[in-house]
Structure 1
Amino acid sequence: MAPAISIGIAMPASGGVRKTSVVVGAAEEAELLRRRNAELEREVAALRAELDAARRRAETAEEGEERLCAQLGEAEVEAVELARAYQGRVQELARELGAALRVPATS
């Protein structure tokens, strides 16, 4: 087995300053990340509020649609009843006219 050789790395005289600037840079980055996180949380809260409002509007629209469909159904029933009554009256008048035309006029 070969003997181990150790190679030393020379540190500049300002080596301690470098570590401090790295720590300060990390602290600044952490603060930036905290601020960005808070900003994103506010955006998420605003989007959730907007989503809730949209959900309420959709529910209101759906309820309105259901009421309109019910009213339309009632109107259709009424229209069918009126059409049947009208058709019955026309047939009745046609029978009366036919009977009147078969009777000889006496003058």
Structure 2
Amino acid sequence: MTGLILKPQTEDTHYGIPVVHIGEDGAMLALGHHTPRRALAAFNRHARVFVGLANLADDRSVRAADYIPLISQRHGIFRKPDRASEWEDPDWEWVVVWSVPEHPDAQPITVLDI
């Protein structure tokens, strides 16, 4: 696969976890596999520090139990955007393609899917 990115750029690191928003609906990605509670702490801090929200929901009445089920561990391959694709913006830093863990270029990722 051409255009591989071994260390994708993220927006910030919280509690030692590199975090970045993906998509437009508030979903986030953390490099590495982390426990759901640890990942949630990093995602919440990112929402506070990077976006300026009270927490992920911008609602102090929301509980961790509301978000834990939205966190999953996956594997993906990071690459440069395909300029020929109508779905990928050539100005993006990278694109992640979900993969099986056995793929030689797969990296562990923790995802908050909102």
TM range (shorter): under 0.3
Larger Rg: 1
Q: Compute the TM-score of the two structures, normalised by the length of structure 2.
A: 0.15
**Relative contact order: is structure 1 or structure 2 higher (C-alpha 8 Å, sep ≥ 6)?**
2
Larger helix proportion of the pair: 1
**Which structure's residues are more often strand, by fraction?**
2
Q: TM-score, normalised by structure 1?
A: 0.16
